Amino acid sequence: MTAKAKAPGGWQQYCALLGKDIRMELRTREMLVSMGVYAILVLTIYGAALSQTASSFDILSVAAGLMWALILFTSLLGLNRSFSHETENSSLEGILLTPVSRPLVFAAKATSNLIFLLAVEVIAVPLFFIFFMGQAELGSTTPLMILPIILGSIGIAGIGTFLSTLTLNTRGRDVLLAILMVPVVFPLLYACVSATSVALLGIEGQIEIFWRSLLLAGGYDVIMLAASWGLYEFVLGS
Partner 1 sequence: MSDPTQSTSNVITTDIAVHNLSKTFGTRKALDGVSFEVPRGAFLSVFGPNGAGKTTLLRILATLSRPSRGTLTMLETDALQKPEDLRGSIGFISHQPLVYGDLSALENLVFYGRLYGADDVENKAKELLALVELDHRANDAARTFSRGMMQRLSLARALINDPQIILLDEPYSGLDPHATFVLDSLISRIREGKTFVMVSHDLERGHALCTHALLLDRGKVVAFDLAENIGIEDLRKAYDPAMLGGVLS
Instruction: State the residues that interact with partner 1 by CB under 8 A.
Output: 1-9, 12-13, 15-17, 20, 23-24, 27-28, 85, 88-91, 93-101, 237
15 versus 175: smaller Cβ distance to partner 1: 15
58 versus 93: smaller Cβ distance to partner 1: 93
- Please report how close the Cβ of residue 209 comes to partner 1 at its closest, in angstroms: 46
- Please report how close the Cβ of residue 13 comes to partner 1 at its closest, in angstroms: 5
19 versus 126: smaller Cβ distance to partner 1: 19
Q: Classify residue 187 as exposed, middle or buried by CB count within 10 Å of its CB (0-12, 13-18, 19+).
A: middle
- Please report how close the Cβ of residue 108 comes to partner 1 at its closest, in angstroms: 10
Round to whole Å and give the CA distance between 103 and 205.
42
205 versus 237: smaller Cβ distance to partner 1: 237
- Please report how close the Cβ of residue 134 comes to partner 1 at its closest, in angstroms: 40
- Report, in this order, helix, strand and coil percent for the chain, each rounded to 5: 80, 0, 20
Round to whole Å and give the CA distance between 102 and 91.
14
74 versus 102: smaller Cβ distance to partner 1: 102
* 99 neighbors 228 (Cβ within 8 angstroms): no
* 185 neighbors 103 (Cβ within 8 angstroms): no
- Please report how close the Cβ of residue 102 comes to partner 1 at its closest, in angstroms: 9
Q: Give the phi and the psi of residue 213 in degrees, each rounded to 5.
A: -65, -40
Distance of CA 159 to the CA centre of its chain: 8
